[in-house]
Amino acid sequence: DVKVTQSSRYLVKRTGEKVFLECVQDMDHENMFWYRQDPGLGLRLIYFSYDVKMKEKGDIPEGYSVSREKKERFSLILESASTNQTSMYLCASSSPGAAYEQYFGPGTRLTVT
Amino acid sequence: GENVEQHPSTLSVQEGDSAVIKCTYSDSASNYFPWYKQELGKRPQLIIDIRSNVGEKKDQRIAVTLNKTAKHFSLHITETQPEDSAVYFCAASMYYGNKLVFGAGTILRVKS
């Protein structure tokens, strides 16, 4: 059973703070993704990674960076949090095989005040 | 880049009726189209998917159809039940599951 976990369910940060969101998967998946979910906008891809130390920009990378030092862990970093980054953040992982399914974590509700 | 439009944004049906959610995509190179269901407070989960070499796929009460010429695909739920109430997201990918582009979502309410 695939398990994707995220470091926090709820997080409150102040404007300008550096924020780390962590995601861990236990299925040895090569691919990992970070999305943000906002009402009426669906899930938008921020960054993704196909392998350790590899990263690629998604559709809305501005204001974010990522780190993947180990295969099972993918971190999203908000260098200087802003109020417009208040959102639900979802991590996902998948294996580049025939199944294609992305497995999501429970999400982190981030509020920036 | 790829753009996916989804409608309706909300859909209310009576228990036992059918529900249809439609999506259009912009890039003819897209070849994989999954549907995810997200119940309130839970994570999205894949419920069905279809690849570009298939026109229709069924799994019990749910089915997905794909029209590559028109660049649209649809989710059909028959005999809806209260537990079908959720947000449904369609998505498209040019890379067989990697780099999905999602639609905005449809809130489905099944009234009993």
Contact A42 B45 (CB under 8 A): no
In a mutational test of the A interface, the residue from B31, B33, B102 whose CB has the highest number of chain A CBs within 10 Å is B102
As a whole number of angstroms, the distance between CA B32 and CA B42 comes to 24
Chain A residues with CB inside 8 Å of B42's CB?
A: 106
Closest chain B C-alpha to A41 CA, distance in angstroms = 5
First to last CA, chain A: 37
Q: What average pLDDT does the structure give for chain A?
A: 94
Searching chain A, which residue's CA lies closest to the CA of residue B44? A104
As a whole number of angstroms, the distance between CA B49 and CA B60 comes to 14
| DSSP calls for chain B | ---EEEE-SEEEEETTS-EEEEEEES-TT--EEEEEEE-TTS--EEEEEEETT-SEEEETTEEEEEETTTTEEEEEE-S--GGG-EEEEEEEBSBTTBS-EE---EEEEEE-
Out of A43, A50, A96, name the one closest to residue B89 (CB): A43
- Flag whether pLDDT at B98 surpasses 80: no
Exposure string for A13-44, b = 16+ CB within 10 A, e = fewer: beeeeebebbbbbeeebbbbbbbbbeeeebbb
Reported as a single tens digit per residue, the pLDDT across B25-78 is 999 999 999 999 999 999 999 999 999 888 999 999 999 999 999 999 999 999
Residues of chain A with pLDDT under 70: 1-2, 97-99
pLDDT, residue A111, reads: 98
pLDDT, residue B94, reads: 84
- Flag whether pLDDT at B105 surpasses 80: yes
Instruction: Give the Cβ contact number of residue B23 at 10 Å.
Output: 26
Searching chain B, which residue's CA lies closest to the CA of residue A103? B45
Reported as a single tens digit per residue, the pLDDT across A56-81 is 999 999 999 999 999 999 999 999 99
Chain B residues with CB inside 8 Å of A29's CB?
A: none
Which pLDDT band, with edges at 50, 70 and 90, does B1 fall under?
A: confident
- Could you tell me how many CB contacts below 8 A there are between chain A and chain B? 55
